[in-house]
């Protein structure tokens, strides 16, 4: 397939280089359309389409290892752009899903005309922030308290108190920040061999990831997106969460398409043992806790590689595994605020977030791409593998795609036309009723992308692999 070179193809070339794949595989990829798709200065369609295309190429390579045949891959750039907020298009029994932020989750003016973003979407994070500010759960009280703080000082206090928020920096300020050099020095996705194991052939099946078992210990959007992408190519995904742990509400249904979902509490000895049993029978372990968190409980990468040689350990962090901020909490919105994206998107009222969760979805698909590359390496050369990405790294990768001039994007529509969105969506029956959702965007010539399982509520399934 011959295609015209584009910025999206150039971005895909970079990802193929990161995965150690030859660039000529991009000749089998069609990328149609162009930015701007939505009113933002960042080339989100290009970024989203390139990463999605990379997952398609990686899946095609797995298919080649099974069958000797490669596939053609195609991605529509406007569709890729709106997939960066796929939850917006979800409906349950005809009712749009609730996607509103918590009432206190906003930008607030701080001292000297600067701004701070407060993340309060989980009750525990909200309560910690209120304790630090010394105010009740009231918007005006929070606003007044923050107005007396220096922005960077409050950012530090929030981190030290277990809350989450960010001083709103410009791009220049972030580039001069000590941690920014560590983010810039790490690849967008890192694929590292961490142990020896004999080659393990891919399981038989009619899809690239048929028979591959993925244990998903991730939350919110980016981590769950990684395992959802693997499910769309045929993997069996079992999501594990704990009863009482704050969740993402209806958004967990959108990121849970194609998965089973069970509950385990690692503080309970028998359930801890159950998770280790599940690990010993899986191929890929995904987690999005801060670096080192699970190592103290026996589920670090080297520990699982020793328990189950040939393990592929996939991990997402907010700020990367190196640098002074490596242990900090963070989310897409916080990274946008800290690194200059929210400042660069400001209007007359102050900083603004992008109209999509580009960092989350790009970061999740970078992880899925890395996991599939690691699977291919395990099949051909053996070994246990560690795949790492961060939200900050995904944000930098998006920014590096370049920015659009204001005249190019300020008149862009707020969304694609309704009829076009309708063609990109499909429906499925699930335990809570009828759900409409955005179907997979990647097109494959031999193994059409799809999710074989409907979403289920958290904890709906037994903690066991399907037969």
* 208: its two tokens: 């690239």
Distance (Å, rounded) from C-alpha 359 to C-alpha 339? 12
Which whole number is the average pLDDT over 12-27? Answer: 96
Residue 172 placed within a domain: no
- pLDDT band of residue 1 (cuts 50, 70, 90) is very low
pLDDT classification of 199: cutoffs 50, 70, 90: very high
Residue 334 lies in a domain: no
Is it the case that residue 347 has pLDDT exceeding 90? yes
pLDDT score at 99? 72
143 in any annotated domain: no
Looking at per-residue pLDDT, the higher value among 1 and 211 belongs to 211
- pLDDT tens, position by position, 218-256: 999 999 999 999 999 999 999 999 988 888 888 999 999
Residues contacting residue 301 through CB under 8 Å, at least 6 positions apart: 194, 295, 311, 313, 315, 386
pLDDT for 112 equals 83
Residue 380 forms part of a structural domain: yes
Q: Whole-prediction pTM value?
A: 0.96
Stronger pLDDT, 290 or 226, i.e. the higher one: 226
Residue 336, pLDDT above cutoff 90: yes
3-state secondary structure at position 411: coil
463, pLDDT greater than 90? yes
Q: Specify the pLDDT at position 293.
A: 75
The answer as to whether 434 is a domain residue is yes
For the chain, how many residues are written?
A: 467
For the chain, what is the radius of gyration of the CA atoms?
21
Inform me whether the pLDDT recorded for 97 exceeds 90.
no
% of the chain surpassing 90 pLDDT? 92
pLDDT digits (tens, 9 = 90+) for 136-174: 999 999 999 999 999 999 999 999 999 999 999 999 999
Q: What is the pLDDT of residue 290?
A: 74
Show Cβ contacts of residue 63 under 8 Å, excluding neighbours closer than 6 positions: 69, 70, 71, 208, 446, 447
Which residue matches tokens 């958004």? 251
**189: containing domain:** 7-99+182-323+354-444
Is residue 217 a part of any domain in this protein? yes
pLDDT of residue 416 exceeding 80, the answer is yes
What pLDDT, on a 0 to 100 scale, did the predictor assign at position 297? 79
Q: 8, 31 in Cβ contact below 8 A?
A: yes
Q: How far is CA 412 from CA 40, 193, 353, in A?
A: 8, 44, 16
Q: Kindly tell me if the per-residue pLDDT of 3 is higher than 50.
A: no
Q: How far apart, in Å, are the Cα atoms of 158 and each of 121, 126, 353?
A: 15, 11, 20
Mean pLDDT of 425-430: 97
* 453's tokens: 């399982």
pLDDT at 202: 97
Band of pLDDT at residue 4, cut at 50, 70 and 90: very low
Give the pLDDT confidence score for residue 33 in this predicted structure.
96
Mean pLDDT of 373-392: 98
Look at the chain and report how many structural domains it folds into. 1
**Torsion angle, alpha carbons of 368, 219, 314, 329, to 10:** 120
- Position 139 in a domain: no
Whole-Å CA distances, 64 to 72, 230, 380:
12, 17, 12
Across residues 406-430, what is the average pLDDT?
Answer: 95
Q: What is the CATH number of the domain that holds 403?
A: 3.40.50.10540
pLDDT confidence band for 2 (50 / 70 / 90): very low
């Amino acid at each position: 397939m011959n295609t015209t070179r584009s910025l999206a193809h150039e971005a895909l070339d970079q990802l193929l280089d990161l995965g150690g794949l030859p660039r000529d595989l991009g000749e089998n990829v069609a990328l149609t359309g162009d930015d701007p798709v939505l009113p933002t200065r960042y080339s989100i369609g290009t970024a989203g389409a390139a990463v999605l295309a990379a997952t398609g190429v990686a899946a095609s390579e797995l298919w080649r290892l099974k069958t000797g045949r490669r596939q053609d891959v195609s991605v529509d750039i406007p569709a890729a752009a709106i997939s960066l907020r796929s939850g917006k298009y979800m409906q349950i029994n005809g009712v749009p899903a609730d996607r509103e932020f918590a009432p206190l989750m906003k930008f607030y003016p701080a001292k000297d005309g600067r701004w701070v973003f407060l993340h309060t979407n989980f009750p525990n994070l909200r309560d910690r922030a209120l304790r630090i500010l010394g105010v009740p759960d009231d918007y005006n009280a929070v606003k007044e308290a923050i107005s007396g703080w220096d922005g960077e000082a409050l950012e530090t206090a929030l981190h030290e108190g277990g809350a989450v928020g960010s001083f709103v920096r410009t791009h220049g300020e972030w580039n001069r920040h000590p941690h920014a050099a560590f983010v810039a020095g790490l690849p967008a996705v890192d694929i590292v061999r961490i142990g020896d194991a004999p080659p393990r052939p891919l399981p038989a099946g009619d899809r690239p990831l048929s028979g591959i078992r993925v244990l998903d210990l991730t939350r919110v959007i980016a981590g769950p997106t990684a395992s959802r992408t693997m499910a769309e190519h045929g993997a069996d995904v079992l999501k594990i969460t704990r009863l009482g742990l704050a969740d993402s509400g209806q958004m967990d249904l959108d990121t849970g398409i194609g998965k089973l979902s069970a509950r385990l509490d690692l503080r309970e000895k028998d359930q801890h043992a159950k998770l280790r049993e599940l690990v010993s029978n899986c191929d890929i372990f995904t987690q999005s806790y801060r670096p080192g968190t699970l190592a103290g409980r026996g589920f670090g990468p080297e520990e699982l590689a020793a328990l189950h040689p040939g393990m592929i350990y996939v991990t997402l962090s907010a700020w990367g595994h190196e640098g002074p901020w490596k242990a900090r909490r963070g989310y897409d919105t916080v990274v946008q605020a800290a690194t200059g994206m929210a400042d660069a998107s400001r209007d007359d009222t102050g900083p603004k977030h992008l109209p999509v969760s580009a960092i989350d979805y790009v970061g999740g698909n970078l992880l899925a791409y890395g996991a599939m590359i690691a699977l291919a390496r395990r099949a051909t050369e053996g070994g246990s593998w560690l795949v790492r990405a961060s939200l900050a790294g995904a944000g930098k990768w998006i920014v590096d795609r370049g920015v659009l001039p204001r005249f190019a994007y300020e008149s862009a529509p707020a969304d694609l036309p309704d009829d076009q969105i309708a063609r990109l969506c499909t429906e499925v029956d699930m335990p809570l009723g009828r759900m409409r959702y955005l179907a997979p965007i990647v097109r494959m010539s031999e193994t059409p992308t799809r999710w074989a399982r409907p979403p289920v509520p958290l904890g709906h399934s037994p903690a066991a692999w399907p037969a």
